[in-house]
Structure 1
Amino acid sequence: MTPEEQRAALFEQLVNEGILDESDRILWELLTPERALKMDAVLRQRTRHIAVLLEAVDDGHNQAAVLRSCEAFGVQNIGIVAGRGGWQPSQGVTQGADKWLSLHHYATIEEAIRAMQHRGYRVLASRLDEHATPIQEIDLRQPVALLFGNEHDGVSDEAVALADGTFIIPMYGFVQSLNISVAAAVSIFHTTQRARREVGDAYFLTREERRAILRRWMTSNTPQARRVAAALRRAASSDQT
């Protein structure tokens, strides 16, 4: 089977699964066969069961590194509360990872935590605290949002008070803290691997979530795809009037 035939066969499969509609064919065929197959393979491994929330992480390299870890390990949802330095992840570090993620910006940490909790997440703050739960003991049966603070002060006291609990990465050396991007990478890897084993199918995206994300990916794939998507929206709007 040629790459083009593989792309066509996958489109029919996704239509049968209810992920795409026949009306999506134009956008689908703008994807290279390799990109189409990769998008599907990646999306099948994505999760919203584990999410990440960043509070006032100021360094652009750290911002980018966390996004890259989220993308690499399949975490789709990232909440962001910008600090004094704003939100400007280094593009050289993200390597485009951010365009595949669902980034949610909030004005305050209270708004962010409340929003996560409203979506069904237990928000757990990273904290160097003797009462914090070791990361390997976190209960992952319910969706969990891992909260990380900025490079100097960590998670704020306000955030800890609003969160559902705290967690810690056990360390056995003289150093008892990790850089934010390293701590996030370790935490994301550990929790996603455990959740895959322990949660089963509930770990992965629902059909509706896959449908929405794949359509967004297709429409933002190239400038041509964005133009076609805009034209299709205009045509649909005209048909309704």
Structure 2
Amino acid sequence: MTSEEADDDTGLRYKRCVFLIDWIGSRHHPSAKYLNIIMARFNLTTVALALLGVSQVQSQCTGPNVNAATISLITEFEGWYPNIYIDPVGLPTVGYGHLCADSSCSDVRYPIPLSRANGEQLLRDDIAGFQNCITLQTASSVVLNANQYGALVSWAFNVGCGATRTSTLIQRLNAGGDPNTVAAEELPKWNRGGGQVLPGLTRRRAAEVALHRTATSVGALPACS
């Protein structure tokens, strides 16, 4: 592929993402999480370009995989559904909050009903886009261990990459704020849905803060040179 063809291909994929944003937005979709899962499924580079506005060079950086503690936190709050069900806004869903492309979940490459192992792998597939979001949105000067990084990926998975990108939390981290202080002060603010405080979100934010504070010698960010 020539450089001109690559540029054309990138532009086309970007336009597809913009179309998806407009299509979902025109239906007043209530959850940014679903939008980001759909976009992550198409192409992770496109997600970075469309949502973050980063350069092609930056977007080639891939966020590290989250650790087992992060997966455990997310699965606890997402809930487990081995069979296809219709979520509260009328969309076909399966596993740990995976939004399907159609009513039969034909996009899922694992047999349905899902086994727990396949459900976790599907979740990891979905999480990949959010790992990239946190990695690309944080400055190279931000140093996070695996638990701190995982807590932020869980938050992004819940609220969406667009929300994290413009958040005070990310701004404070990039300005040099202490990660544990910033997370403890900012994460609890993200506990509202429909203008109301939701107990489930309050509990999730508290769990993310607790994970963020848990010491580990395993590093995660920065991941890109």
Greater helix share, 1 or 2? 2
From the CA coordinates, give the structure whose radius of gyration is larger. Answer: 1
